[in-house]
Amino acid sequence: MDDRTGKILRDNLSDDNYAKLMRLANPKLHRLVADAVELCRPASVFVASDAPEDIRYIRSKAVEAAEEKPLVTPGHTCHFDGPNDQGRDKEVTKYLLKPGLDLGKHINATDREKGLAEVRGYLKDSMAGRQMIVRFFCLGPTRSVFAISGVQMTDSFYVAHSEDLLYRPGYEQFKALGDSQEYLCVLHSAGRLVDGVSADVDNKRIYIDLDDEVVYSVNTQYAGNTVGFKKLSLRLAIRKADREGWLSEHMLLVGIRGPRGRVTYFTGAFPSGCGKTSTAMLPGETIVGDDLAYLRKIDGEVRAVNVESGIFGIIRDVNPKDDPVIYAALTSPGEVVFSNVLVKDGKPHWEGSGRNLPDEGVNYSGPWRRGKKDSAGKDLPPAHWNARYTLRLAGLPNLDPHLHDPDGVAVGGVIYGGRDSDTWVPVQQSFDWTHGVITLGASLESETTLATLGQAGVRAFQPMSNLDFVSIPLGRYVKNHLDFAADLKKPPLIFAANYYLKGKDGKYLNGMTDKHVWVKWMEQRVHDELAAAKTPTGGIPLYHDLKRLFREVLDKDYTPDQYSSQFTLRVVENLSKLDRIEKIWRTEVADTPEVLLTVLAEQRRRLEDTRRKLGDYIPPSEFAPA
């Protein structure tokens, strides 16, 4: 450690905190912490180890600082973000790139030197009068080939507490790094606070320095912008995966039970608000993870782990009927942080909970009564549509026993799903890996929700549900997926799911729980136990299989009319989708793999040939089993 770094740390850290930092013999870490201290000027620094007393300290300080307020259920607290700080802010989330590095049109970036000067300018003296917390985490199971270490420096006890719920402790793992520079760093400050929330959100910045692998976040508290090891570090992990030949993905990881006690594992890529967490939490199945996954090839098969060990989930529509396991966790004693819900008499309330909402209470806007208006004169809802909950997976009864397995779990299938009102059928299977990567993954679209700032209900291009987080040229990202399974004898099967298909009357054609049938069908397809009808876009279920599965899984009848309306091939809409997707890949992505355009063209020919023979809308009875 150089003299200057040593002086900064000794002058600003207590003996105990200095000793905890020095136990990590990593000169780069010492320089990072010293730089953050000198830049942000905190009143004190707390270095958190994995010790229970350090973790308890952070939780107690979150309440003491009023960043979280206790609720009546033991262990439950509530946090409020500012009215204009309620979602991931894509416009001010940028990569810092050196001159000459171009990641493409769909990737938000700025000049590295200019961006560093800007964000560090906002961070200067930002922690004055507050304590800086230095925390260590491990992404993926500790001491495994999947493990990536990370350090977070923040002045928000709410952020540090949330990360404790979401990630595996990493202080001891960090000790094993020695002087390695292979880890991620996050520096966050909530900035100037008024009434406990970030006051300068117009100067919000979330910048990712690809060279030093540092995430900077300032003038924001919303966890999607500040819990740096979620989507922010996902961007850095994608670059690491690109260098090393594995995949870092925005994917759930769930175990689906099949016949004779079998469990088959699926990854699934769904944009926010599209049924991702509810798929990961299907009753009777086992959850490994709901958001982020690392995939590697080990001994000739694809294996995956959950990057995290907790859930930061959208709470809207979580109710005892559709999400019984999560609902039980949210209404029972245990450590849970609610954010941006309505609080009345110490109890949290949210839209779609299955309970009547109070006419008054406290929410992110302050005291709330029904009819309260926002600055634009619109009614303020009781709870924000992007209200969230944060909890550990460890307390869930359906937790998969392999969550922390250093070898991960074997992946049998990959699911791509979005919010699609008019095109994709509820479930289909690709013809092969390449067809699935291109026509399902790289062609994924989704109607936007309020998980990100901006207008809801707009159809957005979302390849692999990862566009917002891709940190390499988009064509190379897709090519990495295509190449990933090249040397596997049996690649995972690829499926598409769509829980949001609507009929001519504008009503959904699927029930909220029908997804359980679709994944059970996928599980048996992985083991080649069911046939599928071959359509121009992929394989779909046969009616008699779905009728049986609806009875077995949901104890519901399933009629031929339901099957026909749900699985009719909408040729017109599928061709329109191809028009949109092909235009993007042909004109907006400089390094599109040629095979992608070829596979899309083949799909177009199949659709047009079928259209000439059978018309624009083709019932599933017209397609024979493959």
What confidence tier does 107 reach under pLDDT thresholds 50, 70, 90?
confident
Q: Which residues contact 299 (CB under 8 A, 6 or more apart)?
A: none
Summarised one tens digit per residue, pLDDT across range 546-592 is: 999 999 999 999 999 999 999 999 999 999 999 999 999 999 999 99
What confidence tier does 455 reach under pLDDT thresholds 50, 70, 90?
low
Compute the mean pLDDT over every residue in the chain, rounded to the nearest whole number.
Answer: 95
Contact between 220 and 122 (Cβ < 8 Å) = no
Burial level of 525, CB count in 10 A (0-12/13-18/19+)?
buried
Report CA-CA distances (Å) from 460 to 107, 452, 454, 457, 586.
14, 12, 12, 9, 17
**Residue 95: DSSP 8-state:** E
AA identity, residue 94: K
On the question of pLDDT at 106 being above 80, the answer is no
Q: What is the pLDDT of residue 121?
A: 98
On the question of pLDDT at 326 being above 80, the answer is yes
Contact between 254 and 286 (Cβ < 8 Å) = yes
* Mean pLDDT, residues 202-210 taken together: 95
Q: What is the pLDDT of residue 223?
A: 94
Please tell me the distance from the alpha carbon of residue 290 to that of residue 279, in angstroms, as a whole number.
8
In the chain, CATH 3.90.228.20 sits at 248-311+401-622
Residues in the chain: 626
* Mean pLDDT, residues 405-416 taken together: 98
Q: What is the pLDDT of residue 103?
A: 79
Helix (H) or strand (E) holding 138: strand 131-139
Please tell me the distance from the alpha carbon of residue 54 to that of residue 58, in angstroms, as a whole number.
7
Contact between 546 and 521 (Cβ < 8 Å) = yes
Query: Architecture of 248-311+401-622 per CATH?
Result: Alpha-Beta Complex (3.90)
Helix (H) or strand (E) holding 152: strand 148-154
Residue 430: both structure tokens together: 């690709």
Q: Which residues contact 284 (CB under 8 A, 6 or more apart)?
A: 257, 398
Q: What is the pLDDT of residue 30?
A: 97
Please tell me the distance from the alpha carbon of residue 259 to that of residue 261, in angstroms, as a whole number.
6
Q: For the domain made up of 3-245, give the CATH fold.
A: Phosphoenolpyruvate Carboxykinase; domain 1 (3.40.449)
Q: Which of 78, 138, 185, 274 is catalytic?
A: 274
- Nearest CA to 456 out of 249, 316, 292, 293 is that of 316
* Mean pLDDT, residues 1-15 taken together: 93
What confidence tier does 457 reach under pLDDT thresholds 50, 70, 90?
low
From the CB of residue 394, how many other CB atoms can be counted at a distance below 10 Å?
13
Please tell me the distance from the alpha carbon of residue 226 to that of residue 218, in angstroms, as a whole number.
8
On the question of pLDDT at 483 being above 90, the answer is yes
The question of whether 40 is a catalytic residue gets the answer no
On the question of pLDDT at 454 being above 70, the answer is no
Q: What is the pLDDT of residue 626?
A: 80
SS3 call for 206: strand
On the question of pLDDT at 450 being above 80, the answer is no
On the question of pLDDT at 93 being above 90, the answer is yes
Please tell me the distance from the alpha carbon of residue 250 to that of residue 413, in angstroms, as a whole number.
15
Place of tokens 């050196």: 98
User: 401: number of CA atoms within 13 Å, CB side?
Assistant: 1
Q: Which residues contact 496 (CB under 8 A, 6 or more apart)?
A: 415, 416, 417, 424, 427, 428, 429, 430, 440, 538
Q: What is the pLDDT of residue 388?
A: 96
Summarised one tens digit per residue, pLDDT across range 335-388 is: 999 999 999 999 999 999 999 999 999 999 999 999 999 888 999 999 999 999
In the chain, CATH 3.40.449.10 sits at 3-245
Summarised one tens digit per residue, pLDDT across range 264-298 is: 999 999 987 788 888 999 989 999 999 999 999 99
Write down the H helix ranges in 385-496. 433-436, 474-484
